[in-house]
Chains A and B, each alone.
Chain A
Amino acid sequence: MMTSRSPIPSAPWLLAGPGALFFFGLVLLPLALTVILSFQAYDHSTGIQSTFTLSHYVTVVTDGYYLEIFWRTLRIAALTTLICAAIGVPEAYILSRMRDPWRSVFLLVIIGPLLVSVVVRTFGWSMLLGSQGLVNQALQLVGFAPARILYTETAIVIALVHVMLPFMVIPVWTALQKLDPMVEAAAWTLGASHFTALRRVVMPQVTLGMLSGSLIVFGLSASAFAVPALLGGRRLKMAATLVYDEYLQELNWPLGATIAIIVLVANLCIMLAYNRMVETRARRTLG
């Protein structure tokens, strides 16, 4: 296992080769096939044609029905990201200031649900938010009229925030762990108030973690399936549920593939933009 000095350049390929082949066949190939599929013509009676067309892309970007769903997807994902940041960043900070064992225990409680199936968590919210759910009962107790929450965008956002919160807490927590706890104290001794120390010394170093968290949350929210499928009902579709319907109900695979490819490309664009931003930032601060 010697390093790069090894005279046989074949060794790494022998090690990684089987996996690489497997990933080639099951990641790159299917994706390429799907891209091709998105350009293939479709006929409602005879199915997928072997002729190529741009019509699906044209349909998706001109038809108000699809545009509305894309717009809703973006809106919900953005709102989810904002709320996750507003909750996750302060929570990570509060966690980081706790003493062990509380710190580890609460960190587990906050990020542990990550491992519970999304179906389960979404089902929990559908019970809480239903017309007879706890939230409505509480609202009535305080004297409000029962609100219809289930099958609204509000329900989707609430459940998405719940599902995505760990993805925000984790990178912010990691950034806070790298922070020398004495740095904040140093700012105090130099005359900074608690708030100023937070704003001028802690926040700038957490920003990167918050950005990467936001990105993950946005990407996952925009392509989330279970939450809108179970809490959005028939009418409130998002990109993922739309693809599901095109594939398994309408059976219009090429159109579904088109939407899926748009979701993928949008996702990759955000990632690349983010990487570039991180690199510039890193270059600026690290020189």
Chain B
Amino acid sequence: MAFLTLEGVSKEFGTFTAVRDVSLTIDKGEFVSLLGPSGCGKTTTLQMIAGLVEPTEGRISLDGRDITREKPNRRGLGVVFQSYALFPHMTVAQNVAFGLEMRRVPQAERDERVRDALMLVQLSAFAGRYPRQLSGGQRQRVAIARALVIAPPVLLLDEPLSNLDAKLREEMQFELRRIQRKVGTTTIMVTHDQAEALSISDRVVVMEGGRMTQVDAPYRLYEQPSNAFISSFVGKTNLLAGTWRRNGTSSAADIGGVLLEASAPEIAAGTPVTLSIRPEKILVRDAGAGRLEGRVASRFFLGSQWLFTVETPIGTMTVSTPNLGVEPATEGSQVGLDWSPDNMRIIAGTAAAA
């Protein structure tokens, strides 16, 4: 049951096309992230849904109603801005009450709903403060309460966590998901942080150069990236460029003279291919025990895991292994790298280098 639909939406600023033919269907109650590097058109897409930017082409509909040309103040969507855009001259309670005031909600009900919203974001004690007296995380929660109190059909979040420091960002990620689960509002979040997108979304929409390039559940996006860009943008990966070889029934990729086995769809022999394998899918074994020999060039201890760069005949590979409580191979030592061929992905087409 499609709740919010974008059909062939594009936006041109003069000669520059910020968003190109985006079509997307979002279900009620879903949490969808728009993920991409800066300038990929994700924020413009969000602003078109919010009504702050008018699409050049295409149609946006909400619950069956065409809202493409509707003014932002008639759409009734909740928006949390990257800068939070709190009203600096109003208290927290006045900020949250503003949307209800615009809807002419009676005073008594207004007070109650503001109280509930502040309780939801755990800011009840701060109702009388002004925005500048709050910390970044608190301001952000005021912005969320202000957007949610009007009971919007859709909540739009523009890089909601980017102004917070790392530790707070992680906390707020889960806080955001908790609130969204509790109120069940359909939510669209714009972010450039893949970890953020993966951890809290039901689905992730990857955007590059104004286009949507993959729409998938976080797990599938991570495991089956549709191109080299996504495989390196979402998580870390080792990209290996080579040529496809067939030998009777078996097939393998030829990477600089080394043949690497991979489960293959129908690819003609001689086609250039790119293989991708994630660092955590590679196992470090003793020299001579793996599929590939290498020498540990450097080793970093990250607490829960170890990160290696290993020099191999086919280039430098990044490998991460969990910290099992014993010290692993040291820098300079010879090791063998091994993996399950199932985890060696073939990226569609010729795929340029990462």
Contacts and interface: CB of A to CB of B under 8 A. Distances in A.
A–B contact at 8 Å CB threshold (below): yes
Interface of A: 180, 182-183, 185-193, 196, 200-201, 204-205, 285-287
B76 A180 contact: no
B70 to A, nearest CB: 11
Interface string B87-99: 1110000000011
A286 B79 contact: no
Given A183-B87, A204-B89, 13 more contacts: A180-B85, A185-B72, A186-B81, A190-B73, A190-B99, A191-B74, A191-B102, A192-B98, A192-B102, A205-B88, A285-B89, A287-B129, A287-B130
B73 A188 contact: yes
Interface of B: 50-52, 71-79, 81-83, 85-89, 98-99, 102-103, 129-130, 132-133, 146-147, 150
> Main SS of chain B's interface residues?
loop
Contacts of A182: 81-83, 85
Nearest to A193: B73
B85 A190 contact: no
Contact of B72 (A188, A286, A287): A188
Nearest to B129: A287
B10 to A, nearest CB: 21
B79 A192 contact: no
A84 B98 CA distance: 31
B83 A189 contact: no
A189 B133 contact: no
Contacts of A187: 87, 98
A200 B102 CA distance: 11
Contacts of B98: 187, 190, 192, 200
A149 B77 CA distance: 55
B81 A185 contact: yes
6 contacts: A186-B79, A186-B85, A190-B98, A190-B150, A192-B98, A285-B88
Contact of A201 (B81, B87, B99, B133): B87
A188 B71 contact: yes
Contacts of A186: 79, 81, 85-87, 146
A4 B311 CA distance: 56
A239 B146 CA distance: 53
Nearest to B82: A182
A180 B77 contact: no
Given A190-B102, A204-B89, A287 B81 contact: no
B290 to A, nearest CB: 53
A220 to B, nearest CB: 28
Nearest to B150: A190
Given A190-B150, A191-B150, A192-B98, A185 B129 contact: no
A-B pairs, top 6 by smallest CB distance, nearest first, are A191-B102, A190-B99, A186-B85, A182-B85, A188-B72, A189-B79
Contacts of B78: 189
A217 B98 CA distance: 35
Nearest to B94: A200
Given A180-B85, A183-B85, A205-B88, A192 B130 contact: no
A285 B91 CA distance: 8
Contacts of A287: 129-130, 133
B130 A189 contact: no
B31 to A, nearest CB: 19
Contacts of B88: 183, 205, 285
A187 B71 CA distance: 12
Contacts of A183: 85-88
Contacts of A192: 73, 98, 102
A190 B98 CA distance: 7
A222 to B, nearest CB: 30
B73 A286 contact: no
Contacts of A193: 73
A233 B35 CA distance: 70
B9 to A, nearest CB: 18
Contacts of B50: 185, 189
Tell me which of B75, B78, B85, B99 has the highest count of chain A C-beta atoms within 10 A of its own C-beta: B85
Nearest to A183: B85
A200 B101 CA distance: 11
A182 B158 CA distance: 11
A240 B51 CA distance: 55
A193 B72 CA distance: 9
Contacts of B79: 185-186, 189
Nearest to A203: B89
Contacts of A200: 87, 98
B146 to A, nearest CB: 7
A52 B304 CA distance: 90
A285 B130 CA distance: 7
A201 B85 CA distance: 11
Nearest to A205: B89
A180 B83 contact: yes
A261 to B, nearest CB: 39
A286 B132 contact: yes
Given A180-B85, A183-B87, A188 B52 contact: yes
A154 to B, nearest CB: 38
Nearest to A190: B99
Nearest to A194: B73
A191 B89 contact: no
Most chain B CB within a 10 A radius of its CB, from A186, A188, A192, A204? A186
